[in-house]
């Protein structure tokens, strides 16, 4: 990763009491970083784990990022995405009006996601003999 990337991608997930829950998020982080080597790619959590979304956003600014994409690692749009996150993002935008911050779609709304999962499940299901 360069010394001072200007773009950050924050993988934002719910979090869990069991720290092992975040291991797959770290696998996703590594895969995304391999595709975006010039970006700062970090994780953030709504609760139970750190850093919080607010902390990850602030850390990205301190690192010199001027563009931040938040990738919600939630299956579907629900209360957390529609009610909890927007005030956090608006507060950040108010504090840092020169930083562009965007919320990406939830997992189920990513292009091709339903087909990808259907194909993967189909490949794993045993065919009748």
* Position 24 in a domain: yes
* Position 2 in a domain: no
Note the pTM of the prediction, 2 decimals: 0.90
Token pair listed for 34: 């391999």
Token pair listed for 96: 């840092």
How far apart (Å, rounded) are the C-alpha atoms in residues 78 and 56? 22
* Position 81 in a domain: yes
Q: Which pLDDT does position 1 carry in this prediction?
A: 42
* Position 129 in a domain: no
* Position 23 in a domain: yes
How sure is the predictor about 78, in pLDDT bands with cuts at 50, 70 and 90? confident
Average pLDDT over residues 13-33: 93
What DSSP string describes 15-82? --SSGGGGHHHHHHHHHHHHH-TTSEEEEEESSSSSSBHHHHHHHHHHTT-SEEEEEE--SS--HIII
* Position 93 in a domain: yes
Q: Which pLDDT does position 4 carry in this prediction?
A: 65
Residue range of the domain that includes 38:
7-124
- Domain count of the chain? 1
* Position 104 in a domain: yes
In terms of Cβ atoms closer than 10 Å to its own Cβ (0-12, 13-18, 19+), residue 53 is buried
User: Is 121's pLDDT higher than 70?
Assistant: yes
Average pLDDT over residues 5-19: 94
At 70, which CATH number?
Answer: 3.40.50.1400
* Position 61 in a domain: yes
């Amino acid at each position: 990763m360069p010394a001072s990337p200007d773009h950050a991608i924050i993988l934002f997930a719910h979090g869990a009491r069991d720290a092992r829950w975040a291991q797959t998020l770290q696998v996703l982080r590594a895969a995304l970083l391999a595709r975006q080597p010039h970006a700062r790619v970090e994780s953030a959590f709504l609760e139970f784990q750190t850093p919080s979304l607010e902390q990850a956003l602030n850390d990205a600014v301190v690192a010199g990022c001027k563009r931040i994409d938040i990738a919600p690692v939630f299956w579907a749009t629900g209360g957390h995405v529609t009610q909890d996150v927007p005030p956090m993002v608006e507060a950040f935008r108010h504090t840092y009006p020169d930083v562009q911050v965007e919320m990406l779609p939830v997992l189920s709304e990513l292009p091709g996601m339903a087909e990808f999962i259907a194909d993967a499940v189909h490949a794993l299901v045993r065919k009748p003999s």
